[in-house]
Amino acid sequence: MEDQGIKGKRLLFFPLPLQGHITPILQLANILHLKGFSITIILADNFSTTFDNIRANYPHFTFHTIYDGLSEDDKAKTDIDALFLLSLFNQRCVPHFTEALRELVLEDSNIVCLLSDSILHFTKAVADRFKLPRLVLRTGGVCSLLVFAAIPLLINKAYSPLQGMESVQEEAVEELPPYRVKDLPLFKTCNVDALYQVIEGMIRETKASSGLILNSFEQLEQFSMSKLRGDFPIPIFPIGPFHSHFPASSSSLMSQDQTSISWLDTKPPKSVIYISFGSVAAIEVNDFLEIAWGLANSNHPFLWVVRPGLICGSEWIELLPSEFLETVDGRGHIVKWAPQQQVLAHPAVGAFWTHNGWNSTLESICEGVPMICMPCFGDQMVNARYVSHVWKVGVQLENGLKRTNIENAIRTLMEDEEGKQIKERMLELKEKANLCLKTGGSSYESLRSLTSYISSF
Ligand code: UDP
C-alpha cells in the first residue's frame, strides 16, 4: 500500500551548506530514499565549500547546483561576522532559488514537496508561489528551538540573550527553566537585529509550514516535545536519531583522518578522551594552550581534533610548545578532522569533550559516551545545559577554561564515583535511543506517519 503512494514521487531538499546542517538533511534524504522516494538536492554554491565528497557518497541522488547570490563584498562581510551569512543568504538567494524551483517543477511533475532547513525561511514564500508543500527540518534540538521561539518574551523581560549579560550570568531565568542567563543562546555578531530577524523568520515560517521534522526522539525531549506541540500547531515528526537509521554514511565536507581509528586500536577500552569542537567554533590562543596543558596534566590518553581555523590567528598546531609535545608523546594524537561517528563508537573512547553542537551531542548519546561540555555559541549553551543538568550525562566546564578546571573535569568523568553514575545514566539514555528506532518505537512510528503524510501529497 505504502509503496503505491511513494512510487515515482520525488522530494526536493534544500540544505544550509554548513557541516552541522548538511549532514542531517542528507541523512533525512537517505532515510526517505530507503522508503522509495526519489531525491533531488539543491546545493547553493559559492560558499567556498566543495561538495565533491557528497556527490561521490550519494550517487543515488540527483544534485542541482545554484548560485547562492553572495557577492565578493558580502563574503568579505561574512568572513568577519560568520552569523551575518544566515541573514544575507536569506535575502540574496531568493531569485536563484526561485529560478531553480521554476525549472525543476516544470521539468518534473513528480515533485511533491520541498524539505528545507528551518533557517532558510525565505523558501516558504517561494514554495507557495509554485504551490509546493514545504516541510521543515530543524537540525538542532527541540529544547533550543523553544528558546529561540521565546526570544521576544526574553527581550520583553529585559534579558538580552543574544549578547550575554556579564553581571547576572549565574541567575536562573525564571520564565524558562532549567536555564541560567549564561545558558541562553549567545551569538557574537555585529548585526544583532539581522540575527533576530533570521530567528523570527525561522519560527514564523516553521509554524506556517506543512510539517516539522526533528532529528530527536520523544524519550529524549519529552517535556519540550509536548510544549512544542502546543505552540506549533502543525504535524510534527520526531524521527531521530537520523544517523542510527543506517550503519554509516559520510557527508563530511572535510577529509577524515583514518589514523584516528588505527591509533585508537592501540589503546585500552574506555581510556581515551576524544576532543572536538565541531566545524565552526573558534577559540583564542590562550584557551588553546590551557586545553593542551589540561590534557597533558590529566595523564589520560587523548585524540584531539584541531581543525585548521579553530585557533584564532593561527594556522594549525604550530603554537604548541615542544615541551608539551614531548610530555604527551604516544599518549596524545592530534588530527585535523576525524571520522567522528566511528571514533565515538570505538571501544577505546571513554569520554567526549565537546562544544555540544546538536549532531555531536546526539552522536555521543547514541554511543553511550559521557561528555565534558564546553559550549561556544548559539544553541550549544542550551544543549550543554540539558546534558549536564537534565539528562545528567556529562559535566560542564564552568568558571573559565583553566588547565586545573580541565584536569578536574577529566578526573571527575574518568576516575570518580560521580563519573561512574554519569556513565550509568548515559547507558540508559543510549538504550532509549536504540529502542525508539525499533519496530513499534516512537521514531519508527513517527517515520511511518511521515512517509504516509508525504505520500498523500
Ligand atoms: N565531525 C566530523 N569530524 C570531526 C568533527 C566533527 O565528522 O572531526 C562531524 C560530527 O560527527 C557532526 C558534525 O561534524 O556530525 C558537527 O556537527 P555539530 O552539530 O556537532 O556541530 P557544528 O559543526 O555544526 O558546530
Q: Which residue has the cell 512544542?
A: 228
Burial 276-286 (b: 16+ CB within 10 A, else e): bbbbbbbbeee
Cell 509546493 appears where? 132
| Dist. CA 2 → ligand 1 center (Å) | 34
Asked whether residue 55 carries a pLDDT value surpassing 80, the answer given is yes
Q: Judge if 267 and 201 occupy the same domain.
A: no
Predicted confidence at residue 5, as pLDDT, reads: 77
Q: Is the pLDDT of residue 1 over 50?
A: no
pLDDT at 81: 79
Of all atoms in ligand 1, which is nearest to the CA of residue 20?
24
Examine the domain organization and report whether 231 and 315 are in the same domain. Answer: no
Look at residue 197 and tell me if it is in a domain: yes
The pLDDT tens digits for 202-243 are 999 999 999 999 999 999 999 999 999 999 999 999 999 999
Distance CA 288, CA 281 (A): 12
Q: Is 359 in the pocket of ligand 1 (CB under 6 A)?
A: yes
Task: Give the chain's domain count.
Answer: 2
Ligand 1 pocket check for 210: Cβ under 6 Å: no
In order of 3, 435, 441, the CA distances from 34 in angstroms are 11, 20, 18
pLDDT band at 276 (very low <50, low <70, confident <90, very high): very high
pLDDT given at position 417: 97
Considering 69-83, 137-151, 189-203, the range whose residues carry the highest mean pLDDT is: 137-151
What is the 121 CA–ligand 1 centroid distance (Å)?
23
CA-CA distances (angstroms) from residue 143 to 37, 99, 186, 366, 398? Answer: 30, 35, 15, 18, 21
Please count the other Cβ atoms lying within 10 Å of the Cβ belonging to residue 163: 13
Query: Does 216 sit in the ligand 1 pocket, CB within 6 Å?
Result: no
Inter-residue contact 21 to 119 (CB < 8 Å): yes
- pLDDT of the residue at 192: 83
pLDDT value of position 392: 98
Q: Bridge partners of 66?
A: 44
pLDDT over threshold 60, residue 296: yes
53 pLDDT tier (thresholds 50, 70, 90): confident
Q: Answer whether residue 210 is part of any domain.
A: yes
Give the pLDDT confidence score for residue 161 in this predicted structure: 56
CB of 44 closer than 8 Å to CB of 89: yes
Distance 281 CA to ligand 1 centre (A): 10
Query: Does 23 contact ligand 1 (Cβ within 6 A)?
Result: yes
Q: Which domain holds residue 207?
A: 10-140+192-240+436-455
Q: What is the mean pLDDT of residues 426-447?
A: 98
Compute the CA torsion angle 249, 255, 258, 264 (nearest 10 deg): -90
pLDDT-derived band at 256 (thresholds 50, 70, 90) equals very high
Same structural domain, 94 and 118: yes
Query: What is the number of alpha carbons within 13 Å of residue 191 lying toward its C-beta?
Result: 16
The CA distances from residue 273 to 401, 412, 439, in Å, are 17, 13, 34
CA–CA separation, 315 and 336 (whole Å) = 11
Q: Output b/e per residue, 429-438; b: 16+ Cβ within 10 A.
A: bbeebeebbe
Q: Is residue 416 part of a domain?
A: yes
Q: What share of the chain is helix, strand, coil (3-state, %, to 5)?
A: 45, 15, 35
Which residues are registered as beta bridge partners of 372? Answer: 353, 395
Q: What is the pLDDT of residue 49?
A: 62
Ligand 1 centre and the CA of 23: distance in Å?
9
Q: Verify that 287 and 322 share a domain, yes or no.
A: yes
360 alpha carbon – ligand 1 mean position (Å): 6
The region, left, alpha or beta by phi > 0 then psi within -120 to 50, assigned to residue 381 is alpha
The reply to whether ligand 1 has any atom less than 6 angstroms from the CB of 251 is no
Asked if residue 208 and residue 306 are part of one domain, the reply reads no
- Higher pLDDT pick, 423 / 161: 423
Separation between Cα atoms, residue 222 and residue 178, nearest integer Å: 14
299 in the same domain as 216: no
Decide whether any atom of ligand 1 lies within 6 Å of the 338 Cβ: yes
Q: How many other CB atoms are found less than 10 A from the CB of residue 234?
A: 15
For residue 77, the domain's CATH number is 3.40.50.2000
pLDDT of residue 52: 85
Contact 95, 117 (CB under 8 A): no
279 lines ligand 1 (CB under 6 A): yes
**Co-location of 348 and 358 in the same domain:** yes
Verify whether ligand 1 is closer than 6 Å to residue 357 (CB atom). yes
CA nearest to 298, candidates 201, 410, 415: 410
Mean pLDDT of 88-105: 97
- Quote the pLDDT of residue 166: 66
Domain assignment present for residue 185? The answer is no
Predicted local confidence at residue 3, as pLDDT: 61
252 lines ligand 1 (CB under 6 A): yes
Residue 273 C-alpha cell reads as: 578522551
**Percentage with pLDDT > 70 across the chain:** 96
The atom of ligand 1 lying closest to the CA of 23 is 15
Looking at residues 333-348, what average pLDDT do you find?
97
Residue 167 resides in a domain: no
216 with 314, same domain: the answer is no
Query: Are residues 264 and 285 both part of a single domain?
Result: yes
Residue with the smallest CA separation from ligand 1 atom 24 is 20
Please give the distance, rounded to the nearest whole angstrom, from the Cα atom of residue 39 to the centre of ligand 1.
24
Pick the residue whose CA is nearest to atom 25 on ligand 1.
Answer: 278
Q: Are residues 413 and 448 in the same domain?
A: no
pLDDT > 80? residue 79: no
Q: Distance, CA 279 to ligand 1 centroid (Å)?
A: 6
Helix (H, G, I), strand (E, B) or coil at 217: coil
> With contact defined as beta carbons under 8 Å apart, do 143 and 383 qualify?
yes
Same domain, 419 and 441: no
Backbone angles phi, psi at 358, to 5 degrees: -60, -40
27 C-beta closer than 6 A to ligand 1: no
Query: Where is 144: in which H helix or E strand?
Result: helix 142-149
Q: Copy the grid coordinates of residue 331.
A: 599518549
CB atoms within 10 A of CB 1: 6
Give helix 403-415 / helix 417-437 axis angle, nearest 10°. Answer: 70
Q: Do the domain assignments include residue 67?
A: yes
Over residues 316-334, the mean pLDDT reads 97
Strands laid side by side in the 111-117 sheet: 62-67, 38-45, 10-14, 111-117, 134-138, 211-214, 236-238
Q: Is residue 358 part of a domain?
A: yes
Q: What is the mean pLDDT of residues 396-419?
A: 95
Sign of CA dihedral 74, 78, 83, 85: positive
440 plus 402 within the same structural domain: no
Q: Among the atoms of ligand 1, which is closest to the Cα of residue 380? A: 25
The average confidence (pLDDT) of the chain is 93
Q: Which three cell numbers stand for residue 343?
A: 571514533
77 within a domain of the structure (yes/no) = yes
From the CA of 133, how far away is ligand 1's center (Å)?
Answer: 30
pLDDT in tens, 447-457: 999 999 999 99
